[in-house]
């Protein structure tokens, strides 16, 4: 089979699969069989559509990628199980030293003054007061050893502790039916997550790393740690949190990384 012919076939398959997936999504995914079908076919169909388009013109590749990514977000959102826990590990499996990563090098790690730092909370919340580090330390705490997976091709096991984020959101009177929680960071990084993941029991407003005050390199004073999401969804050096129904995007998401970013 020559390339042109093959690309035409996979494109048609891809479009059909995407249409079927959208139909299923709009009917709500309830039965396990449907969920399994969707998960299987969209993965294959997405790849097929991608390879089909990449053999045609550059412009439509961008469009196809973006639309597949949006469908991918909806599928991941629909399949996300709010009660399913990510694996946890014994302390002996912690990766030492734990890797550093940011959109800049280690020499540019932000130094935030924890004494004057305040966590700003805005948007769809009833209590818009700002929070100090000691306010956050006075809230309930949880600690977990989980795996951080970065799209750049590495993963590492680490131990983060802090406030269960669902507790924090309830405490500030967040609209728990809102779609998004957005984060602005001291290094101008930004990202946003779906409310279901924000409320997941393992999602933690992390104040510690491996039992110590969160080091600057890992996001002092506060990082959102989610073992159900890829590394780039876990904002470090958070300075502001907002609850919204307007899609906020993110630093890497706006450059083409998938927004849901489940791991
Ligand atoms: N504020 C901020 N948060 C960030 C980033 C960043 O550049 N700035 N990089 C993200 C990426 S891509 C990864 S893999 C992790 C790295 O976290 P680590 O340094 O604790 O390994 O932070 C994420 N959160
Ligand atoms: Mo990453």
- Around ligand 1, the residues with Cβ closer than 6 Å are 99-103, 150, 185, 187, 189, 217-218, 231-232, 234-237
State residue 246 phi and psi, 5-degree precision: -95, 125
Task: Clarify whether residues 158 and 239 are in a common domain.
Answer: yes
Is residue 74 very low, low, confident or very high in pLDDT (cuts 50, 70, 90)?
Answer: confident
Q: Which of 154, 190, 236, when mutated, tests ligand 1's pocket best, judged by the most ligand atoms within 8 Å of its CB? A: 236
Q: Please list all protein residues whose beta carbon sits less than 5 angstroms from ligand 2, which is an ion.
A: 150, 231-232
Work out the average pLDDT over 77-88.
96
Quick one: pLDDT at residue 22?
A: 56
Is residue 84 very low, low, confident or very high in pLDDT (cuts 50, 70, 90)?
Answer: very high
Of residues 94 and 17, more confidently modeled: 94
For the chain, what is the mean pLDDT? Answer: 85
Q: Give the range of the structural domain holding residue 48, as residue numbers without chain letter.
A: 14-79
Q: Considering 27, 47, 79, which residue would you say is the last residue of a domain?
A: 79
Work out the average pLDDT over 216-231.
98
Residues 6+ apart with CB under 8 A from 109: 100, 102, 216, 217
Quick one: pLDDT at residue 162?
A: 99
Q: Considering 79, 112, 136, which residue would you say is the last residue of a domain?
A: 79
Using the mean position of ligand 2's atoms as its centre, give its distance from the Cα of residue 167 in Å.
Answer: 26
Quick one: pLDDT at residue 41?
A: 53
Work out the average pLDDT over 59-87.
82
Work out which ligand 1 atom sits closest to the CA atom of 252.
12
- We report the CATH number of the domain holding residue 113 as 3.90.420.10
Q: What is the pLDDT of residues 14-32, one digit of tens each?
A: 555 555 555 555 454 445 5
Task: Clarify whether residues 96 and 167 are in a common domain.
Answer: yes
Quick one: pLDDT at residue 19?
A: 57
Task: Clarify whether residues 64 and 97 are in a common domain.
Answer: no
Q: Is 241 exposed, middle or buried (0-12, 13-18, 19+ CB in 10 A)?
A: buried
How many whole angstroms separate alpha carbon 86 and alpha carbon 229?
10
Quick one: pLDDT at residue 5?
A: 33
Quick one: pLDDT at residue 17?
A: 56
Pick the residue whose CA is nearest to atom 12 on ligand 1: 232
pLDDT of 46 over the 60 cut: no
pLDDT of 167 over the 90 cut: yes
pTM, two decimal places: 0.82
Q: Considering 79, 104, 134, which residue would you say is the last residue of a domain?
A: 79
Pick the residue whose CA is nearest to atom 24 on ligand 1: 235
């Amino acid at each position: 089979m020559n390339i042109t012919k093959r690309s035409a076939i996979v494109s048609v398959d891809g479009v059909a699969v995407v249409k079927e997936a959208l139909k299923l999504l709009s009917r709500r995914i309830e039965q396990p069989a449907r969920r399994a079908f969707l998960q299987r076919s969209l993965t294959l169909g997405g790849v097929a559509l991608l390879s089909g388009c990449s053999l045609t013109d550059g412009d439509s590749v961008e469009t196809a990628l973006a639309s597949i990514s949006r469908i991918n977000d909806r599928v991941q959102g629909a399949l996300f199980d709010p009660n399913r826990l990510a694996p946890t590990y014994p302390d002996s499996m912690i990766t030492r030293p734990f890797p550093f990563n940011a959109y800049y090098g280690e020499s540019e790690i932000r130094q935030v003054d924890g004494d004057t730092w305040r966590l700003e909370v805005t948007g769809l919340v009833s209590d818009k007061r700002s929070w100090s580090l000691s306010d956050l330390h006075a809230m309930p705490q949880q600690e977990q050893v989980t795996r951080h997976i970065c799209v750049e091709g590495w993963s590492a096991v680490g131990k983060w502790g802090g406030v269960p984020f669902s507790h924090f959101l309830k405490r500030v009177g967040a609209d728990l039916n809102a779609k998004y929680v957005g984060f602005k960071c001291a290094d101008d990084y930004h990202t946003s997550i779906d409310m279901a993941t924000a409320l997941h029991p393992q999602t933690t407003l992390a104040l510690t790393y491996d039992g110590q005050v969160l080091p600057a390199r890992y996001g002092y004073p506060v990082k959102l740690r989610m073992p159900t999401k890829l590394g780039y969804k876990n904002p470090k050096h958070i300075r502001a949190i907002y609850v919204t129904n307007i899609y906020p995007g993110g630093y890497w998401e706006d450059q083409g990384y998938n927004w849901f970013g489940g791991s």
